[in-house]
Amino acid sequence: MAADETYPAELRYHAEHDWVRVDGDEAYFGITWHAQDALGEVVYFEPPAVGTHVEADGSYGSLESVKAVSDVIAPLAGTVTAINDAVVETPELVNESPYADGWLIRVKLDDVAAADSLLDAAAYQALL
C-alpha cells in the first residue's frame, strides 16, 4: 500500500525528487513521495557499495518499478556508509514509507553546509 502524499518539513529536497535527512556529518538519502508515485510499484533497488563516493547531482544507483528503471540522484556529495538492506530485500518499502523505512543509503557528507543549498519542503512543493 502506498503512503499518503507528504513532504516533511525537516527534510531538504533535490529538484530530481530526492530527499536528505542530515544527522550530524551524515545524511540519509531517499526518494520523495512524488518520485515513488511516478515510478509505481518499486520491485528492485540496485544500491552502490558501502565505501563508494557519490557526487552531488550524480547517479548512485537505480530503482526498478513495474513501469520503468530510474537512476537515483545524490542530492549531496559524500561516502556511502550504509545501505538500507531492508529496501534491497523488500523494495516496496519505498512506496509504503518513502521517508522512514524506505530510505536508501546513508552517507558521510563531504560538506554538511551544502545541504543549505537544497530546497525546503515549500520550495519543493512549488517546483511540483
Q: Is the pLDDT of residue 1 over 80?
A: no
The pLDDT, as a whole number, for residue 126 is 97
- Cell digits of residue 108: 558521510
For the question of whether the overall pTM of this predicted structure is more than 0.85, the answer is yes
Residue that the C-alpha cell 542530515 belongs to: 22
From residue 120, alpha-carbon distances to 7, 69, 117 in Å are 9, 27, 9
The Cα 63–Cα 69 span in angstroms is 6
Model confidence over 85-103: pLDDT tens digits?
999 999 999 999 999 999 9
Strands (E) located in 47-98: 53-54, 59-65, 69-73, 78-83
What sections of the chain are H helices per DSSP? 33-39, 85-89, 93-96, 121-127
pLDDT at 29 over 80: yes
Cell numbers representing residue 97 in the block: 514509507
CA 80 → CA 6, 58, 109, distances in Å?
A: 26, 13, 9
pLDDT at residue number 2:
79
- What structural domains and CATH numbers belong to the chain? 12-127 (2.40.50.100)
Could you give the angle at the alpha carbon of 88 between the alpha carbons of 2 and 57, nearest 5°? 85
